[in-house]
Amino acid sequence: MAVLETVLKAAAEAVSRASFLVIAAGAGMSADSGLPTFRGNEGFWTNYPSIRRLGLSFVECASPSHFRKDPHFGWAFYGHRYNLYKGATPHQGYQILRKWAALAKYGHCVFTSNVDGHFQKAGFDPSNVMECHGSIHYLQCLNECRADIWPVGELGINVDERMFRARDPLPVCPHCKGLARPNILMFGDHGWVSSRTDQQEGRLSEAVQAAETHSDCFKTVIEIGAGKAVPTVQWFSGSQLQYEHSKLIRINLDDTEAYEQGKTLYVPLKAVEALKRIDELVVNQA
């Protein structure tokens, strides 16, 4: 316990010192809002008991092939997720991060693998957010008739959860009237339209580079709930430590103990608990 308190204090010092704040979030960030993380088949099947009898894993369900072979199943899976994400409220941790971001002299950015749109829903400026796997709140044409991406609008997907089938009508492309799909990078996905995420990536890179030009810049990276199975977020966080004046706070319940190694502080807590305990120790708050 004493080690954890020492690490939390060091994390608070890094937040207090930050003149540029990088927030990197994986599925564990959304978990405290009551959203599933899909870790392991048992966890996945607990959230989707109808799929247990089909014996399908999350990777097998999160595939663009379903939209071509069985679109009512494909849209049952993503329609259910859309309804779940839309109805959930971002937890208190998002507001703590917004407060810290406002204190950073040279700004902030968000890198997330989550497709739920909760950073924007919590009040973060969309121009500061990069969603590396896309967003469930945007659609694209399944047949790629055009490289267009459009907001879902008032999307209503009625899902028969017992049979796990989406009811008609299914979303269609406004151009060719063919089937639409979520603008999400799925497993084995060669048809994802990445232009929106590419633009986000360009803005994030510019913000980071601009901050690093300042001789007094100290970059604090807060990574929350990022798994190792799909390590995109952890890779990104690690790359940020190439900058000399930087520190990484890695908040992950899967880590077994609190410790400090090099530029990284390991905090083995859930997102909200970790952020609240660090915030209690942050000085110079506005």
Query: Letter for the amino acid at 14?
Result: A
Residue positions annotated with a catalytic role: 133
What's the full length of the chain, in residues? 286
C-alpha 29/C-alpha 155 separation (Å) is: 25
In b/e form, how buried is each residue of 123-158, taking b as 16+ CB within 10 angstroms?
Answer: ebeeebbbbbbbbbbbbbbbebeeeebeebeebebe
Count of CB atoms situated within 10 Å of the CB of 208? 20
Q: Which helix (H) or strand (E) holds 135?
A: strand 134-141
Distance of alpha carbon 60 from alpha carbon 41, whole angstroms: 11
